[in-house]
Copies of this chain bind each other. A is one copy, B any other.
C-alpha cells in the first residue's frame, strides 16, 4: 500500500470515517485510495469553506472528528474562516492538506506556499509528513489531537510523494484522552460563591449546555437561587420543552451590561468571561460589573458534567431537588399578517419538529427567535462561536450528514448565505434533510446598527451603499434551483407557514426565501 492508503486505513481504524473534500492534483492518491479502503464516506464540496464548515457541524452533532481533504495552501486558506469558527466551537477536525512532493518544493512552482504558515493561526497542531512510512502514525496522532477535548483542529500536510510512495501498514488508533477532572477546590470556590449573597449566576458553556448537564444546573439554581446564563453564541445548546432554560447574554453591549448589572458573583463552567463581541468607543469591553466576583469551575476541555454534579452535591442540590427554569411546551399561536422577526420566530416555534437541529446565522432577523423557541419542542440550537460569516449552510450540511434521521433547519441572513452558497449543491448531491430559510432583508442589516455603535449617526450614501445588497436583488430561489434544490419565495406569514409545512413534511433539502420588508 502507498502512503495515502495507509492514511485512509488509519483514519477509518481511528473512527474518522467521513471526509469533506475539495481535492486537487496533490490529493489524487488519497482520492484513489477511497476505492481500495472500505468505510470512508467522502462528501464533495465545490468550495473549501463548505468542507471545513461541514466538518464543524459534523463534530458538533456526532462528537467525532471528520477529515477534510484540501488542496495545498490556497485550498486550506479557503477553508480557514470556518476552521476559525470550528476552533472557537471546540470542534475536532483532521485536515489533510496535500502539498507539493518534498523534492519539488525547492522549485517554488506556482501553487507553492507556506502551508504550515497558512494552517497555524487556526490549528492546534500542524505537522508535515516526512515520508510515506511516517504518514500512518502521523494520521493517528492527528486524530488523537482532534479528539482531545473539547475538540481540536489538527492539520496534517501530506507532500504528494509521501502519498504515492510505498508505506508499510496502517497505524493503530491512539487512545482518546479523557477530559480532565475539575479540581475540588474550584468546585468548593464555586459553591461558596453561589451560597453567598446574590444575585449570582452560572455561566455555562461547551458540553455544560447539553440537557443532562443543564438538569443539574437547574437543581443548583433551585437550591441557591442563582441564574443560569450562556454566552450569546454557543456551539450546541439543547433546549425546548422539558429542558432547563438558560438565558443568553445579548449581543448589544448595553443590553448585556444591563442584564449583568446587579450580579455579585459569576461561576464560569466551560465558558469564557463575558466580554463584548466588539469594542465600541466609550463602551466597556468587560460586561460584568467591576465588583462582580468571577470564578472558573472548569474550562471547555474539562469534565463539566462531573463538576456540576460535584457542585450540586456541595450546595445540597442532589437528585431529589426539582430543577428550576424547566421549560414547559407552549407552542405559540401562529400569527397572521406581515413577516417580521417576531412573527417568523413564532412560526418557527410553532412548527419546528421534535429533535430538530437549528443552525442559526440569522443575525439581526434572528434576535427575536430565541424567546418563542425556548418553549418549543426539544431541539438543538447551533450558533457561530467564532463569528466568521458563512458558517450556517456548511455547518447545516455537516450536521445533516451526522444525523440523517433528524430535520436540520438552517436559518441564514441573505448576506451570510452568499459567503458559502455552494453548500446548497452538496446538500442536493447528498440528499441531506435540510430546510434552509434565507431571510432576505437585502442588506448587511447588522452593520447599520454597528455604524451607530461606533459613533456614526448619519451614514452618507457611499457608506450606505456598502451595507446594502439590493442592487441587484439576490434571487435565492434561482440560486438554489441552479444548484438542484427545490425552492420558493414567501412574502407573508401564510406563505411561510405553507412553505415550511411542505418542507418539514418531506425529506431532503429545500430552501425558502423569506422576504422581510
Contacts and interface: CB of A to CB of B under 8 A. Distances in A.
A356 to B, nearest CB: 25
A478 interface: yes
Given A109-B275, A111-B277, A387-B110, A482 B475 contact: yes
A299 B471 CA distance: 44
Nearest to A286: B107
Contacts of A85: 74
Nearest to A391: B74
A84 B77 contact: yes
A462 B21 CA distance: 12
A302 B34 CA distance: 48
Interface string A259-278: 00000000000001101111
A270 B418 CA distance: 39
A34 B114 contact: no
A415 B460 contact: no
B77 A73 contact: no
A100 B428 CA distance: 38
Contacts of A390: 47, 78
Interface of A: 21, 23-26, 28-29, 31-32, 34-36, 42, 44, 46-47, 49, 73-75, 77-78, 80-81, 84-85, 88, 100-101, 103-104, 107-111, 113-114, 117-118, 120-122, 160-161, 164, 233, 272-273, 275-279, 281, 285-286, 384-390, 415, 418-419, 421-422, 425, 428-429, 446-447, 450-451, 453-456, 459-463, 465-467, 469, 471-479, 481-484
Nearest to A469: B46
A233 to B, nearest CB: 7
B42 A386 contact: no
Contact of A121 (B114, B386, B469, B481): B114
A111 B74 contact: no
Nearest to A232: B110
A233 B110 contact: yes
B101 A279 contact: yes
Contact of A421 (B421, B447, B469, B475): B421
Counting chain B CB atoms within 10 Å of each CB, the highest count among A387, A471, A481 belongs to A387
A476 B160 CA distance: 33
A24 B277 CA distance: 12
A295 B3 CA distance: 38
A28 B450 contact: yes
Nearest to A117: B121
A110 B389 CA distance: 12
Given A44-B465, A44-B466, A80 B84 contact: no
A9 to B, nearest CB: 14
A75 B466 CA distance: 15
B73 A121 contact: yes
A462 B77 CA distance: 25
Nearest to A77: B80
